[in-house]
């Protein structure tokens, strides 16, 4: 169980880090420059990825790439960056109209300086909440793919693989199925609570005493 937690957290952290990095860069470029760049990225690229159900696309990618930890992380990153890109694009579209950004542009600051020094630090707040919720989604996706035999191959421990193997023994040893299932549920629930807490703490309108 403990080794399964290590693999699940490794997948979650890696997927969130890579997906958030790619999504922040693409979303910032789309929202900052606008025009035909934004039309291509937000109008076509984003919608193409969002048109497919995430888990089905992950299954297709893993089946094409093959089983393995690195390939599983790559597949989840390919389907996961779009959510971060959309959030970042919306934030950049809002922040770029603020007075301090217009003042920096009037003082002759370059586009790169405006984007990375003035806009991104003031747009990153929702991405922190998105990342904590993305951890829960990545852990659940890894367990689902491992349950289907498309995740981490044996003998590496995985909660999804444990559930698949214990399914045949449920009538005799139900506890073998209960513990990995409870571990997945508690981990996903914990990350969801963290995301809700961060959203409330970082948003002054929702902050409570």
CATH value at residue 20: 1.10.3720.10
Is 129 part of a structural domain of the chain?
Answer: yes
pLDDT in tens, 66-121: 777 888 888 888 888 888 888 888 888 888 888 888 888 888 888 888 888 888 88
| 209 has pLDDT over 60 | no
Of 92, 78, 76, the closest CA to residue 27 belongs to: 92
pLDDT in tens, 129-188: 788 888 888 888 888 888 887 777 777 788 888 888 887 777 777 778 888 888 888 888
Contact yes or no for 140/133 (Cβ under 8 A): no
Is 208 part of a structural domain of the chain?
Answer: no
Is 209 part of a structural domain of the chain?
Answer: no
Q: Confidence band (pLDDT; 50, 70, 90) for 202?
A: low
Cis peptide before 155 (omega within 30 of 0): yes
What pTM was estimated for this model as a whole? 0.82
Is 20 part of a structural domain of the chain?
Answer: yes
Q: What is the mean pLDDT of residues 43-66?
A: 80
- State residue 98's pLDDT score: 83
Is 34 part of a structural domain of the chain?
Answer: yes
Contact yes or no for 190/11 (Cβ under 8 A): no
Neighbouring C-alpha atoms within 13 Å toward the C-beta of 110: 3
| 23 has pLDDT over 80 | yes
Torsion of CA 34, 44, 82, 198, to 10 degrees: 50
Nearest-angstrom CA–CA distance, 82 and 60: 17
Is 77 part of a structural domain of the chain?
Answer: yes
Nearest-angstrom CA–CA distance, 104 and 117: 10
In a 10 Å sphere around its CB, with 0-12 CB exposed, 13-18 middle and 19+ buried, how is residue 181 labelled?
middle
- State residue 207's pLDDT score: 52
More confident site: 202 or 65: 65
Is 57 part of a structural domain of the chain?
Answer: yes
Nearest-angstrom CA–CA distance, 46 and 138: 19
| 27 has pLDDT over 60 | yes
Contact yes or no for 184/159 (Cβ under 8 A): yes
Is 78 part of a structural domain of the chain?
Answer: yes
Per residue, the 3-state secondary structure of 111-127, as one string, reads HHHHHHHHHHHHCCHHH
Nearest-angstrom CA–CA distance, 149 and 9: 19
Please count the structural domains in the chain.
Answer: 1
Q: Confidence band (pLDDT; 50, 70, 90) for 208?
A: low
| 37 has pLDDT over 70 | yes
Domain that holds residue 66: 2-202
């Amino acid at each position: 169980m403990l080794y399964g937690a290590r693999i699940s957290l490794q997948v979650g952290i890696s997927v969130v880090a890579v997906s958030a990095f790619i999504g922040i860069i693409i979303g910032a470029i789309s929202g900052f420059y606008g025009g035909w760049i934004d039309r291509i990225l937000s109008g076509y690229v984003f919608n193409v990825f969002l048109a497919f159900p995430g888990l089905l696309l992950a299954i297709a990618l893993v089946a094409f790439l093959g089983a393995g930890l690195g390939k599983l992380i790559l597949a989840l990153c390919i389907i996961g960056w779009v959510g971060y890109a959309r959030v970042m694009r919306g934030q950049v579209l809002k922040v770029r109209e603020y007075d301090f950004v217009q003042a920096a542009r009037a003082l002759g600051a370059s586009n790169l300086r405006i984007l990375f020094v003035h806009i991104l630090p003031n747009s990153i707040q929702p991405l922190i909440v998105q990342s904590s919720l993305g951890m829960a989604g990545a852990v659940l996706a890894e367990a689902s793919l491992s349950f289907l035999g498309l995740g981490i191959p044996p003998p590496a421990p995985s909660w999804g693989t444990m559930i698949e193997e214990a399914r045949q023994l449920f009538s005799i040893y139900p506890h073998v199925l209960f513990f990995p299932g409870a571990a997945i549920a508690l981990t996903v629930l914990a990350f969801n609570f963290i995301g809700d807490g961060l959203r409330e703490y970082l948003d002054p309108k929702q902050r409570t005493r």
